[in-house]
Amino acid sequence: MKINVLTLFPEMFTAVTGSILGRACEKGIITFNFINIRDFSNDKHKKVDDYPFGGGPGMVMMADPIFGALNSIDARGKKILYMSPRGNILDQTKIQQLAEEEELTILCGHYEGVDQRVLDHFDMEEVSIGDYILTGGELPAMVLIDTVARLIPGVLAGEDSATEESIYSGLLEYPQYTKPRSYEGMDVPEILVGGNHKLIYLWKFEQSLRLTRELRPDLFEDFVKNSKKLTKDEHKVLEKVLK
């Protein structure tokens, strides 16, 4: 996958191009193209914002520099995302859809947003990571990049790692433990060190069910509604939790 990012602060993205995603780049699985919007400003001071027509607080990013940046990569007609608090919330379904794209272009806004003509002309999809406001679109873009990239085959060491974790299974993740077996008077649950893989799996499944029911009842309800494909043993565990 190729990921183009239009931003005023390309240096911020070193946070997501190291470690796992860095290795994916080395393998040619992901290609990043960070574009500084200021490079396309015709102003001698590289100004990219101005006061909004009709008045109001703050400044708005001007159309011309963004048009220049997008035209430089021939972006029109391609999948372009604008990180915006008024967009649809980024969820599992959207992440999986985006992971199937061959190329994504992400626009990071700043100030009070961008000139609406940019969004209209390039038919951008607005995406939000939550109902709150940040100072810019860079952090939301990093969240989107990281969560989408993990679903691309070959990015994670284990092919099943991405979809087996936490919310991707429809349930929250069960408690995890590592060495030492006993610490400060707290012991690892005996079943996890007993060697019976079937019982270990069912214990983890039960813990996931209980945690999801307590912390995310909405997810738990959806899981129960779609539980027809569970095994006989899994159904027994679910019935136990429902009692």
Count of other CB atoms within 10 angstroms of residue 148: 23
d(CA 5, CA 34): 5
CA distances from 124 to 78, 92, 130, 220, 231 (A): 9, 20, 18, 33, 43
Average per-residue pLDDT in the chain? 93
Mean pLDDT along residues 211-234:
95
Residue range 33-53, pLDDT digits in tens: 999 999 999 999 999 999 999
* Token reading at 192: 């996890």
Binding residues: 109, 129-134
Helix (H, G, I), strand (E, B) or coil at 227: coil
216 backbone dihedrals φ, ψ, rounded to 5°: -135, 70
What is Dmax (Cα atoms) for the chain?
70
> What pLDDT was estimated at residue 17?
86
Q: Which residue has the tokens 């940019």?
A: 118
Binding residues for S-adenosyl-L-methionine: 109, 129-134
Domain limits, CATH 3.40.1280.10, in the chain = 2-149
Q: pTM of the prediction? A: 0.85
Domain limits, CATH 1.10.1270.20, in the chain = 165-242
Whether residue 167 has pLDDT greater than 90:
no
- Give the CATH H-level superfamily of domain 165-242: tRNA(m1g37)methyltransferase, domain 2 (1.10.1270.20)
CATH topology of domain 2-149: Alpha/beta knot (3.40.1280)
Among the listed residues 99, 85, 86, the one whose alpha carbon sits nearest the alpha carbon of residue 140? 85
